[in-house]
């Protein structure tokens, strides 16, 4: 139930995305008026169907991250901005396709906030900005918000997506310090969980899970990987608006678990309908994946998310619940191939 008194107006960039759409939903649920920027309003029918959308959601269509002054109209009248919009392709791409849009989009968003006097910004970064270290730290290292990925190594290896998250976050801290903007940064890992009803596309992080369901994955990586539920990440984006001053000026790791892929496959097998269970692979690769993130494979990444728990109030869901909530949802693309 929305509170009886109207609340502030908040803009979510990238509101038609997997995370952005959940941020829109939770803000509406909490009684906020929501502006959101999207590339194509034709794909936003599911947002318009959300409770409270008729009265308190305004969708700004055709907003290009790179266009100068693209966000002014959407941000006008807002007290805070949640900047979730960014491209996500872990492989392929190029510096021009990934790093440049992340930097210029961040610059556009924050310069517009400064010009309009908006003093609160929540930025979606990534664990890619925290623990892409290529084995440069010992296996007993516990990753925290104080850790930063190895920028030089990412450039050398042309790892454009993690580099885009790293440099965009660094730029955000720099601009906000100069402009007097309160910034909170969220660093989520691979995001799983349910789509909103009617969401027309599947998020990139979930494609590996779908591959286990549809039979295209024939074996499992011999690795532990970190995951977090989309609902927890969306709650973490809104929490700084409601946590007083405790969250501003901080970054927060968002990780719900780091299971071996055998455990993930078992959760998938339990979640899918009977006719899909045989699709889920059981064989584990004999080859260890490259040592890129955190501890050396197949060891689990060690991390500390206590600041998100204590300051933002997040009670992280486990991987089993992330997978099951997606598999149980009748609208979910996972089980409607």
Q: Which residue has the higher pLDDT, 27 or 5?
A: 27
Q: What is the pLDDT of residues 113-128, one digit of tens each?
A: 999 999 999 999 999 9
Task: Say which residue, 278 or 94, is predicted with more confidence.
Answer: 278
> Chain-centre distance of CA 68, in angstroms?
25
Residue-averaged pLDDT of the chain: 90
- Dump pLDDT digits (tens) for 132-171: 999 999 999 999 999 999 999 999 999 998 999 999 999 9
Asked if the model's pLDDT at residue 197 lies above 70, the reply is yes
Question: Per-residue pLDDT tens for 243-256?
Answer: 888 999 999 999 99
**Residue 47 pLDDT > 60:** yes
For residues 11-37, average pLDDT: 96
pLDDT band at 293 (very low <50, low <70, confident <90, very high): very high
pLDDT category, 328, cuts 50, 70, 90?
low
DSSP string, 133-173: -TT-S-TTPPB-TT----HHHHHHTT-HHHHHHHHHHHHHH
User: Which residue in the list 165, 170, 177, 218 is annotated as catalytic?
Assistant: 165
7 φ, ψ to 5°?
Answer: -110, -175
Res. 54: pLDDT tops 80:
yes
CATH fold group of domain 9-335: Rossmann fold (3.40.50)
205-236 pLDDT, tens digit each: 778 888 888 889 999 999 999 999 999 999 99
pLDDT in tens, 299-327: 999 999 999 999 999 999 999 999 888 75
165 is catalytic: yes
Average pLDDT over residues 81-102: 77
pLDDT at residue 56 tops 60: yes
Q: What is the structure's pLDDT at 325?
A: 82
Domain ranges of the chain: 9-335
Q: What whole-number percentage of the chain has pLDDT above 90?
A: 75
Which long-range contacts does 267-272 make (Cβ < 8 Å, 24+ apart)?
Answer: 267/319, 267/320, 267/323, 267/324, 268/209, 268/212, 268/213, 268/323, 268/327, 270/320, 270/323, 270/324, 271/323, 271/324, 271/326, 271/327, 271/328, 272/213, 272/327, 272/334, 272/335
């Amino acid at each position: 139930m929305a509170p009886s008194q109207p609340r502030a107006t908040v803009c979510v960039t990238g509101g038609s995305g997997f995370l952005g759409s959940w941020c829109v939903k939770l803000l509406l649920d909490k009684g906020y008026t929501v502006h959101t920027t999207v590339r194509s309003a034709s794909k936003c029918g599911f947002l318009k169907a959300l409770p409270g959308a008729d009265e308190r959601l305004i969708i700004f269509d055709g907003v290009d991250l790179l266009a100068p002054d693209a966000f002014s109209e959407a941000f006008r009248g807002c007290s805070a901005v949640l900047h979730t919009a960014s491209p996500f392709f872990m492989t392929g791409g190029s510096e021009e396709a990934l790093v440049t849009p992340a930097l210029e989009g961040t610059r556009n968003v924050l310069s517009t906030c400064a010009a309009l006097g908006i003093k609160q910004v929540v930025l979606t970064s990534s664990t890619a900005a925290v623990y892409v270290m290529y084995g440069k730290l010992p296996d007993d290292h516990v990753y925290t918000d104080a850790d930063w990925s190895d920028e030089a190594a990412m450039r050398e290896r042309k790892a454009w997506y993690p580099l885009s998250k790293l440099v965009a976050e660094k730029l955000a801290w720099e601009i906000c310090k100069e402009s007097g903007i309160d910034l909170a940064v969220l660093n989520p890992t691979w995001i799983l969980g349910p789509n909103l009803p009617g969401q027309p596309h599947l998020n990139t992080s979930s494609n590996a899970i779908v591959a286990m369901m549809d039979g295209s994955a024939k074996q499992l990586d011999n690795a532990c990987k970190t995951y977090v539920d989309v609902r927890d990440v969306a709650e973490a984006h809104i929490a700084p608006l409601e946590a007083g001053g405790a969250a501003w000026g901080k970054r927060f790791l968002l990780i719900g678990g780091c299971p071996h892929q055998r455990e993930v496959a078992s959760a998938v097998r339990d979640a899918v309908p009977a006719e899909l269970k045989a699709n889920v692979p059981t064989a584990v690769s004999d080859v260890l994946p490259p040592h890129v993130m955190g501890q050396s494979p197949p060891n689990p990444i060690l991390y500390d998310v206590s600041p998100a728990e204590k300051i933002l109030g997040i009670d992280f869901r486990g991987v089993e619940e992330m997978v099951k909530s997606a598999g149980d949802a009748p609208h979910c693309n996972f089980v409607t191939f």
